[in-house]
Structure 1
């Protein structure tokens, strides 16, 4: 399991006083209102930054960091990711998981007829869709993240048991 989780990517500066536009990579953008600190991945190191101000503009979050008061101090971090520690992450409800924890899980059909690895998660709006690579054929299988299909998830053991609906596996 990951110890830090991505919450956004700095897309550009905002004004000249050190504010940045952040493209959120979290389901709940309002979480930024409660967030006190983020970790900036500079590519060489991880810098803790204290959040001093939060505003919202279209699909972006505008953040102001303590001690960064000039556009030149933040410009070099354009395109860099912002993370939070697991302790500062949003609390999950029952049967909710962080995508970072799901990727890489071993996936097996309830009767053992299919085995693969969860490679990615598509967020479709209605429900997520898990992209699983079949370990025998190398083909991708799309599994809807619904109760009829996802029978068991054990992140700690790195395992997911699924029920594949008719038509999800091609016979070729």
Structure 2
């Protein structure tokens, strides 16, 4: 498990006065400001954050040290990270997406199905994108208790009972 968790990303400049367009990945999107200071991925830059208003697809925000449109545009695509210990503990049946990525997925008989490449949500429910063994093919597995009865972070494995025909 990583020592830092990505809680948002900068989508570019918003306006001409150094504000950025911010996409939040926190459960309560506005709560991203509560975790400041935020850092870039390698920790070389640190930002205090003030959300100024909601905009389509996220928020307009001010970051410390960013004063112009050019500086804001230069940060486009920058992930914003916080130390894991600043995030709240989760109930037993909830997981941070970053903890699931890379885990091996086995069927109920112990046969490896693949590894979690990504966790996606297109509005209805979470999906695990599995990279199948021995190739570049991926499949989407519903991330529900019925299909994924066991997630064991300590041993780095997930047990799944995929729907009939999904992996054929």
Is the shorter-chain TM-score for this pair beyond 0.5, marking a shared fold?
yes
Query: Which segments of 5 or more consecutive residues in structure 2 lack a partner in the other structure?
Result: none
Contact 2:12 2:74 in 1 (8 A): no
Verify: 1:36 aligned to 2:36, yes or no. yes
Alignment of 1:46-61 (within 5 A): 46-61=44-59
Query: Which segments of 5 or more consecutive residues in structure 1 lack a partner in the other structure?
Result: none
Superposition deviation, residue 110 in structure 1: 1.0
Contact 1:31 1:90 in 2 (8 A): no
Alignment of 1:1-172 (within 5 A): 1-41=1-41, 46-135=44-133, 139-170=137-168
* Rg (Cα) greater in structure: 1
The whole-number CA distance in structure 2 between the counterparts of 1:102 and 1:156 is: 11
Contact 2:9 2:79 in 1 (8 A): yes
Aligned Cα root-mean-square deviation (Å) = 2.5
The whole-number CA distance in structure 2 between the counterparts of 1:4 and 1:109 is: 30
TM-score normalized with structure 1 length: 0.81
Shift of the 114–23 alpha-carbon distance from structure 1 to 2, 3 Å rule, reads same
Shift of the 93–54 alpha-carbon distance from structure 1 to 2, 3 Å rule, reads farther
The whole-number CA distance in structure 2 between the counterparts of 1:140 and 1:79 is: 25
The whole-number CA distance in structure 1 between the counterparts of 2:40 and 2:147 is: 37
